[in-house]
Structure 1
Amino acid sequence: MATYQLAQEALAAEFAARWAEALAAVEARQLAGSLTELETAYTAAIRESAAASYTLSVAFYRLVRALETGRVIGGPGYRPGASLGSLWADFNKATGKRTGSGPREVLPVDIRNPFPAADPAREARRAEESFRHQVADRVAAHERERPAREGSAALDDAELVAWEKEFLESLKTGGSGAGGMLVQDAGRDAVHLALQDDPGAIGYFRATDASPCYFCALMAGRGAVYKSKRTAAFGAHPHCHCQAVPIFSRRYRLATENDRFARMWREFGGGSLADWRTYYARNQ
């Protein structure tokens, strides 16, 4: 599980590095005239890392399912004659690490494809909307403010330089968070939607990173979440590295962090979300 989560984080970081590189190639005063090139770089980086996130999640889901049920499921990436050994090989290839291996005996097959089909048009819209909110709209507001700034300072004034630098940094941070969410959503959606459509799955639990926000800690503290219409949404946010881990047996084991957050919630004793946020910050 840790390898899977770290590999998903690495894909988000890969996108963030490409976005930072694209921004670094543009002067602050050239941003308004470079939006087309920046959007192309932003959306292409999301698309490529999101595709890798989807492939990784399918390999993870198929491996976990086979380990828990002794059966392999069809769908993208399925190869006839699959075994635990070949499923481990697929997962290792997707993570770039050798984390496990298994026997070569062919597994029984559930000929079913629960994985959501790629929707390039929807993915493109989400990337375009993210760019508009995180970059284009903010650049427009920045440009409207520029005349007042430049009218009260020389172009090399330290305060003006700091203002430009701070804005570029905010574009990098905001774009990385929103774009990285879309990258990981490709994988999160693959797992979360597959388990809703897979009769062999009973639910999932939320695995967090080492230091999640108060909301993610609360969600992880719920433990196992069983399939229902009410639980059909995962609820990630920018800079969130939580993942849905599918469950195929009542004999599942939660991650240690889930137990820790569940214990914190019990000790908290109830109250508003704002109260929990304060309590969590004080006790994390």
Structure 2
Amino acid sequence: MNPRSLAESGSAWLGYMLALVRGERRRSRAQAAAFLRLYRAMETGYTLPPPAGDSGGRTTTLGELREDWARQADTIRTPEPDDGDMIRIDGDFDWPEEPVDAFDRAAVASLVSQGPAKVRERVAQAAQEQARGRLDDAGFMQELESATTNAGVTAAGAADREAIRSGRDLIDRAVQEDRRALGWARVTDGNPCSFCAMLAARGAVYKSRATAAAGGRRKPRGSADGRNPRNRRPPVTLQDMTRYHYMCHCQVIPVYTWAERFTPDAAHWSDEWERVISNNGLSGLEARQEWRRHIDAQRREQSN
């Protein structure tokens, strides 16, 4: 973007970025579908039909599903001993349509607010701060360069989130329609912030309120409430679980068994919460602050 002609250059930039985001959304959606089909097969022995239409049969193999995932994710696949295992395809499932127009509107709003709008705001501020207000003033020119550089960083974060919006949405809504799925669990990327690690630590969200109230477990005979001590913390809501900040690469995955209240990822963060927060009797604001310090320290150590 040219800060001296924001209207023209900003419009051209937005058109280019929107086309780029649309292409990446399609790729994100295809990857999410391939992941979900493979993950479901490994968890349940059943998979979903290909999103493109007729599968050409009622069965597939784990090897074929792995091939599809490797192709969509552009990764190298090595043969597995169970590649030949037959997987039944559940035919009574319709993939949700992508709300293209709504996603385009969200992308435009996000890109504009984090790109041209930030440049315009910073340039106006810099112009007021410069006593002479000359466009060739050295200080003013430095402000223009700084404004576009900073806006590039924030706009990149917006583009990143919008590019993977479709894949996240596909899994979220597919789980709602999947009769075998019980709910959702949040998994983090390799270096989550404290907010994302906290959400993952809270465990799964279930479709049924009764299931959620029981901590995701059927009430065994002779048990007062069937709960594991780990489940006593209030569960996170689906609305919270599907909140993603800029440059966040967390995802939600389906939960297919009653024993999946805590995925391995969630169990790790839950254990960390117990050790750092619960065992020290912290709560409220004090707990959140200490958790943030703990996670930030881990991220600094990992970056070194």
Q: TM-score range by the shorter chain?
A: 0.7 to 0.9
**CA distance in 1: counterparts of 2:85 and 2:21, whole angstroms:** 38
**CA distance in 2: counterparts of 1:203 and 1:146, whole angstroms:** 50
Alignment CA distance shift 1:30-1:228 (3 Å): farther
**CA distance in 1: counterparts of 2:250 and 2:94, whole angstroms:** 21
2:56 corresponds in structure 1 to 80
**CA distance in 2: counterparts of 1:202 and 1:100, whole angstroms:** 31
2:301 corresponds in structure 1 to none
* Structure 1 stretches lacking a partner, 5+ long: 1-25
Local SS of the residue matching 2:253: strand
TM-score under structure 2 length normalisation: 0.75
Query: Which residue of 274, 277, 287 maps to 1:276?
Result: 287
Larger RCO: Structure 1 or Structure 2 (Cα < 8 Å, ≥ 6 residues apart)?
1
1:98-133 deviation digits (Å, cap 9, x = unpaired):
245453455322113353211221121111211332
Alignment CA distance shift 1:275-1:142 (3 Å): same
Alignment CA distance shift 1:38-1:96 (3 Å): same
2:74 corresponds in structure 1 to 96
Tell me the percent identity.
27
**CA distance in 1: counterparts of 2:249 and 2:64, whole angstroms:** 27
Query: Which residue of 137, 141, 150 maps to 1:170?
Result: 150
The answer on whether the counterparts of 1:32 and 1:139 sit within 8 Å (CA) in structure 2 is no
TM-score under structure 1 length normalisation: 0.80
Which moved further from structure 2: 200-209 or 244-253?
A: 244-253
**CA distance in 2: counterparts of 1:115 and 1:275, whole angstroms:** 44
1:77-156 map, 5 Å: 77=52, 79-81=55-57, 82-99=60-77, 101=79, 102-104=82-84, 106-145=86-125, 147-149=127-129, 151-152=131-132, 155-156=135-136
Structure number with the higher helix fraction is 1
**CA distance in 1: counterparts of 2:52 and 2:266, whole angstroms:** 31
Instruction: State the Cα distance separating 1:85 from its structure 2 match.
Output: 1.4
Query: Which residue of 30, 36, 40 maps to 1:55?
Result: 30
Which moved further from structure 2: 243-252 or 178-187?
A: 243-252
**CA distance in 2: counterparts of 1:190 and 1:100, whole angstroms:** 27
- Computing the radius of gyration over CA atoms, which structure comes out larger, 1 or 2? 2
Count of residue pairs brought into register by the alignment: 258
Q: Match of 2:51, as an amino acid? A: P
Q: Match of 1:29, as an amino acid? A: R
Q: Match of 2:177, as an amino acid? A: D
1:125-274 map, 5 Å: 125-145=105-125, 147-149=127-129, 151-152=131-132, 155-228=135-208, 231-233=237-239, 234-250=242-258, 252=260, 256-267=264-275, 268-269=277-278, 270-272=282-284, 274=285
1:16-40 deviation digits (Å, cap 9, x = unpaired):
xxxxxxxxxx443233321210110
